[in-house]
A and B are shown apart, each in its own frame.
Chain A
């Protein structure tokens, strides 16, 4: 049976979808069968980031409501044979989601894949609640700024009260990804540092992703940044994916900025 991981954030624009795409591909590169599911009904994006924009024929809602099998709707990625994608409907809205149907869908995905990654919509409405309902684990994506952290805090609170696992008396494991860390801004104190964020959210850290301008281009091209080996963000995503697959990977310091002359100079004496 596969593990269901929901990627959540509360706030929009922090990089949930980018994280889902990269981590999905990263897990597939670790030789695990992985499916990424776009749960943002009515506003699908994940297909573009994975470069599968014009290959979507059937989506999740077709599988749930019409007589379309999952095999027909799943799209295999060209980037890795282990990675599949299930699209969200672009024409329907969140009201089509029903717990029973989602449960059935997720059960059949779990039977076939090692990892089922759900890209949650922004916000904490019904669409979000349906995404987390059947999750075993959650990746919480935050940016190092207060509003993102408060929204994630709220999202975690809802996860801890409304997911099926919690209602059954178990706990959903939550892991934190701090995204878009700008080392210069952290050092100047403009951005929150990760210890403060961990203090506030008090869930274990699974990765820190540095800000990378290459991500925008990667999204436009439909090639996740994890494919560019010399991108720092790509490397960071690869480490997170490896950790999810159960490997021990040391944390790399992405917060201190060591390129400048003064930093090097300081480094000589420290």
Chain B
């Protein structure tokens, strides 16, 4: 009953108009993609629809979610990390052990930040605080991980001859590839660094605006927003550093040979098998 009441709430109906407006804008982007033959329509449209369905489902369930015992929120966050790693690893098409590396990098980056901030009291020990803030940190770490994988894959593929020319001289593999690993880390951190640079000047984040509109002290809202940005910054940095370190190793065989990146259409089953 509660769910039905929520669905017929006038504010939900009004929200639908806003969704429609956002959909029109997305349709424009997809239309331009189609006109310019970019071939991105499926990916753009699919992600848009999927995001909508998922967030509405989350909205419908979140009340129930907040009622779970605190101990389970750890499990929920772990599941989020796994799913984020699954989505993210597809960005490194053909990169050896991309899924395993994504799980480790995202898990480490998010866990260190979440645990530290919970210990410091910046994240309350309540499900309604831990799950959304944790989810936000994981989502941002995923973005960094995806960018790291994507860049690493293209750097190695386009510089394969250079890497092998140096490898053939008896250079340790991690040194032969380090320039390209560094480039992947740098590129993956551009959004986080730019967001920090423009924080307050161009980028006035939603959470801070919401807190101020909700009557919080603007200075405290700003402080808390900075804490959030710091968490995103740290989680992204740790994720990218971990991912790049592991990628740099996974790219080579035991005999220090640069592996071929064989692209595949990853299936869940196949990937789970590869974890063994």
Verify that A and B bind, or say they do not: no
Binding site for A on B (CB under 8 A): none
